[in-house]
Amino acid sequence: MKSPWIIDMHHCGVLAILAAALLMQSPTMANCADDWLSIREVQTGDGVELYATNNQNYPITYALMIDQDKRTGPATQTISKTLPGQQSQRVMVLPRQEDSVDISCTWTIGSRDATHDDDHVYRLPYAEGESFRVLQGFESDWSHRGDEQFAIDFKMPVGTPVHAARSGIVARKEERWDQGCWDQTCDRFANFIVVLHDDGTTGEYYHLLRDGALVEVGQRVATGQRIGLSGDTGRSAEPHLHFAVYHATRSGNSQSIPISFLTAGGIVYEPRNGHYYSAVSRQDTGD
């Protein structure tokens, strides 16, 4: 199982913005900044301008949730945008007002306008000739619902080589953790690799071994290339590889999408729980 609230729903914290009757105070930015998305404010004669900055080289989709505690009742507004790498943009202007305003933010890698190539057939994410059992396929009752509806869990021993199911650029990786358990407290300990595909979707590989990423951020990987080693880190009941393809949503989260796999037995459109699938090369089907 992936750890969606830690990995996909990157909470940048809350901006507490207090506006006095005649003076707009500077917003207090409590943790609403990280290595990817940062929000800054600029005081103007009209109020406070909010700017979003993408600190990395790859596109992100973010959402700002604005809760205004009006005397007539709470008012909530959500602003969602895609921000290219290493760019900033003005998000909005908060006018002078007496009401307090709380702003929280989420982000994920990729563009909300990405269109997946549904004709693309993926390679299984392990070595040619290897075969592993599916613990959870599409829409599994255990944990593959909602955002994870079209994820696949492959049961495999710790240290099994993980191969790229599709070519792309490594946009993010985590490999420092060495613990896992079937408890929410272990969510943040998942090691992973995120590969940004050419169509703006991402292929994501989770629960990797500590120091198990064999690629670097910014590196382009080919379909079938060995990119990591499987493990049992994060929220995990047993050693396995969690793999899915995602697109960014307007909420600043990511949604898994249905894909098909090339196997020794032909193209599989819906991996089934308990079934074994043998990997074959994509040499005859293109990248």
User: What pLDDT, in 10s, does the model give residues 154-178?
Assistant: 999 999 999 999 999 999 999 999 9
Contact indicator for 26, 43 with CB cutoff of 8 Å: yes
User: What pLDDT, in 10s, does the model give residues 95-148?
Assistant: 776 567 788 889 999 999 999 999 999 999 999 999 999 998 886 766 666 788
d(CA 151, CA 249): 16
Domains of the chain as residue ranges with CATH: 6-109 (2.60.40), 114-278 (2.70.70.10)
Instruction: Specify the residue for token string 């709470």.
Output: 74
Contact indicator for 190, 6 with CB cutoff of 8 Å: yes
Single out the residue of 189, 191, 187, 205 nearest to residue 246, CA to CA: 205
Single out the residue of 224, 254, 11, 247 nearest to residue 124, CA to CA: 224
User: What pLDDT, in 10s, does the model give residues 222-248?
Assistant: 999 999 999 999 888 889 999 999 999
Q: What is the DSSP string of 174-197?
A: E-----EESSGGGGGG--EEEEE-
Start-to-end CA span in the chain (Å): 28
Q: For residue 155, report the phi and psi dihedrals to the nearest 5 degrees.
A: -70, 125
Q: For residue 189, report the phi and psi dihedrals to the nearest 5 degrees.
A: -100, 15
Instruction: Specify the residue for token string 């943009």.
Output: 89
Stated pTM of the model: 0.86
Reduce the secondary structure of 78-98 to three states and give it as a string: EEEEEECCCCEEEEEEEECCC
